[in-house]
Amino acid sequence: MVRRLLAFPNPVNEVSARLVAAGVVVMAGAVLGLGQWWVLVPLAYGFVARVLAGPSFSPLGQLVTRVVTPRLDVTPRLVAGPPKRFAQGIGAAFSLSALVAHFGFGADGVAQVILAGLVFAAFCESVFAYCFGCKVFAMLMRLGVVPEATCEACNDLSTRLAA
């Protein structure tokens, strides 16, 4: 049970992933556009929670997967989980860096630049289904940094769908 709670889903419903990305755009936009720096805390927490356990401990992930996505008349589009987890890790690095820049060093300009990059990437994911983290993950697979077994798991969703 605990292992299941801490597992990242594979496959991932891309519809939900894109909606979470839209939520990230809104949250980071609240920081950039409205100066609501406190939003960095739940933003960073959400990314870390999603890296560790998918949507299980992420308020935004729970809202999207349990409330928003089920109410949409959209066919789920399943994609491999490992690249999405990697992308969440990049989002965690960006949001934590912005958090430390602002609260740790008072470097608001640095935090704003970092958040602008995060907003751009999340916007591309939410609107165009273009995931920069997934593209980097694919490049790392081609370079052999990501093990073959992960490559096979990403490419063969049929085994998970049957389960």
**For residue range 101-137, what is the model confidence (pLDDT) as tens digits?**
999 999 999 999 999 999 999 999 999 999 999 999 9
Q: Please give the pLDDT value at position 163.
A: 46
Please check the confidence at residue 5 and state whether its pLDDT lies above 70.
no
Q: Please give the pLDDT value at position 148.
A: 76
**What does the pLDDT average to over 38-50?**
98
pLDDT top residue among 5 and 10: 10
pLDDT top residue among 46 and 158: 46
For the purposes of burial, counting CB atoms within 10 Å of the CB of 103, is it exposed (0-12), middle (13-18) or buried (19 or more)?
A: middle
Q: 3-class DSSP state for residue 129?
A: coil
- The pLDDT tens digits for 9-20 are 999 999 999 999
Q: What is the dihedral of CA 54, 111, 115, 70, to 10 degrees?
A: 40
Lookup: tokens for 54: 């998918």
- Domain spans, the chain: 2-162
- In whole angstroms, give the CA distance from residue 77 to residue 47: 22
- The pLDDT tens digits for 65-102 are 999 999 999 999 999 999 999 999 999 999 999 999 99
pTM value > 0.85 = yes
- In whole angstroms, give the CA distance from residue 46 to residue 73: 26
Lookup: tokens for 149: 């077994």
Q: 3-class DSSP state for residue 13?
A: strand
